[in-house]
Amino acid sequence: MSSELSQPFSIGGLSIPNRVVLAPMAGITNSAYRRHLKRHGVGLVVTEMVSAYGLIYANRRTEEYLDFAEEERPVAVQLFGDEPEVMGRAARLVLEREPRPDLIDLNLGCPVRKVTRGGAGCALGADAVRAAAVTAAVVGAASPRGVPVTAKIRSGLTPEQPNAVELARRLEDAGVAAVAVHPRAATQFYRGRADHELTARVVEALSVPVIASGDVYSWEIARTILAECGADAVMAARGALGNPWLIGELLEGRTFERPSLAVAVRDLLELLELARGQFGPERATRWLRKHLTWYLQPYPVPGTVVHELRKCPDDKALVEALESLPGTYGSQAV
């Protein structure tokens, strides 16, 4: 059994094996997490957002965001910035590295103040003319190397000022090969319901693929979104946190029962192992703490126990504590 999301599609001539995209999420979608979700079947992954200025000034941590493994392909690097010249230069720096990513994605939708106060993210998306100039500069850097450029946008700055359709048209004119639409305003952050009627208007306005983002928590919801807006693909974000089995739901076109606690713990340990390979045991253990509630909340594991898990001093103690959970708290989700 499979859904329409299991079918391949193309972005600027690049073949994507299926129509489920993993959203870029700050602090989450590092290489370990992307590889983990690839193993669960996701078709396209995107890095955490990468500062164009950080690349130009050779910031070590910024450059670390560009690292990826071959098993992640196809993979997109997401850039943010506000100046056409800076963004074009940053794109060239990305594409001069080996290995080279398959796509460059532009962040025109981040609502976080530390991004928007510099004129990037959704602040740039609110200025369609400037956003198109930035896009043209990145396309100019990427197209000679055969790398398509995509963009992720929001509905606008406020619910009263939607500009997604105008922005998307200008981005297509500037050369983007696909647009991901998160139809919430910047001021809404992640509150309220995503307005996929707006996504439908973007789909109608463009000839390039449109990816629907926002509220993708189950196959039933995704099916409703697709019927409502006619998008070419969906983007999984918060719905996949602690629930990588969502990817299988979307690809198979059916709702999965939550797996046993033993399976959830095993999946967490696999994620920890990947993170250890990327960061080393100490940093990986700290990073995994944020995933504990996401994974364990559906099970009868007391919050106090999860709190104690976060205090585990090292990876060995965390592994031992996690492995003890199924025998103590059973295997059924609640």
Q: Which residues are catalytic?
A: 110
Rounded CA-CA distance 67/61 in Å is: 11
- Ramachandran angles phi, psi of 269, nearest 5°: -65, -35
Best CA proximity match to 164, nearest among 126, 136, 193? 126
Report the first-to-last Cα separation within the chain, whole angstroms.
27
Q: Decide: 264 and 293 in contact? Cβ < 8 Å.
A: no
- In 3-state terms, what secondary structure has residue 86? helix
Token pair, residue 261, equals 């606690």
Q: Which strand (E) or helix (H) includes residue 24?
A: none
- Ramachandran angles phi, psi of 317, nearest 5°: -65, -40
Rounded CA-CA distance 214/109 in Å is: 12
Using left for φ > 0, alpha for ψ between -120 and 50, and beta otherwise, residue 233 falls in beta
Four-residue CA torsion sign, 239, 240, 241, 244? positive
For residue 14, give every residue at least 6 positions away whose Cβ sits within 8 Å of its Cβ, in sequence order, or none: 74, 102, 103, 148, 177
Rounded CA-CA distance 163/165 in Å is: 6
DSSP state of 237: S
Q: Name the amino acid, one letter, at 230.
A: G
For the chain, the maximum distance between any two Cα atoms, rounded to a whole number of angstroms, is 59
Rounded CA-CA distance 249/266 in Å is: 19
Rounded CA-CA distance 98/120 in Å is: 27
